[in-house]
Amino acid sequence: MQEAASFLLGTHDFSTFRSASAELPKRDPVKSLLRVEVRPVPGFLSEHSKDSHLRFWEMEFTAPSFLYKQVRRMVGVLVSVGQGRLEPRQVQRLLEIRDLMAYPNNTIAPPDGLFLKDVEYCEADLEISETESEWQPN
């Protein structure tokens, strides 16, 4: 999974990893993934003891922005690599193809367990100018 995750790092056209929804406005599919971390973690309940067959993984992605469902799709292919259903090089190939229809069936991660951990802003982006502070609602 580490090898597969390394292919996602950097600036790529993530068209293969975008949502299939036609309702959404088309956004620029070129995104920069600054950091990907994939690591095993212990379970959080007593049933998740060392003797359990369950394995837990934590995946962290850092980027200025993401496409709709991009993270779920990246998690899905990384899990598929971990399960042996995909080879790490196939992740690289998915990036190169840049075609939503090339995304493997039944590999999108469900939303359960995925959450937004942190949002970072540049201080200058949070400053309000005088004209913005005078705005009044209708």
Between 100-104, 107-111, 131-135, the lowest mean confidence (pLDDT) is in 131-135
Q: What is the pLDDT of residues 25-81, one digit of tens each?
A: 678 999 999 999 999 888 776 665 666 677 788 999 999 999 999 999 999 999 999
Q: From 10, 3, 18, 12, select the one nearest 102 (Cα to Cα).
A: 18
C-alpha span between 45 and 38 (Å, rounded): 21
**What pLDDT is recorded for position 17?**
95
Q: What is the pLDDT of residues 86-98, one digit of tens each?
A: 999 999 999 999 9
Q: Which helix (H) or strand (E) holds 55?
A: none
C-alpha span between 138 and 135 (Å, rounded): 10
Q: What is the pTM of this model?
A: 0.82
pLDDT band, very low/low/confident/very high, at 137 (cuts 50, 70, 90): low
- Domain boundaries defined on the chain: 2-114
Q: From 50, 46, 9, 47, select the one nearest 31 (Cα to Cα).
A: 9
**What pLDDT is recorded for position 29?**
93
Q: Give first-to-last CA distance, the chain, whole Å.
A: 52
C-alpha span between 17 and 71 (Å, rounded): 8
CATH classification of 2-114, choosing from 3.40.1190.10, 3.30.70.660, 3.40.50.2000, 2.60.120.560? 3.30.70.660
pLDDT band, very low/low/confident/very high, at 123 (cuts 50, 70, 90): confident
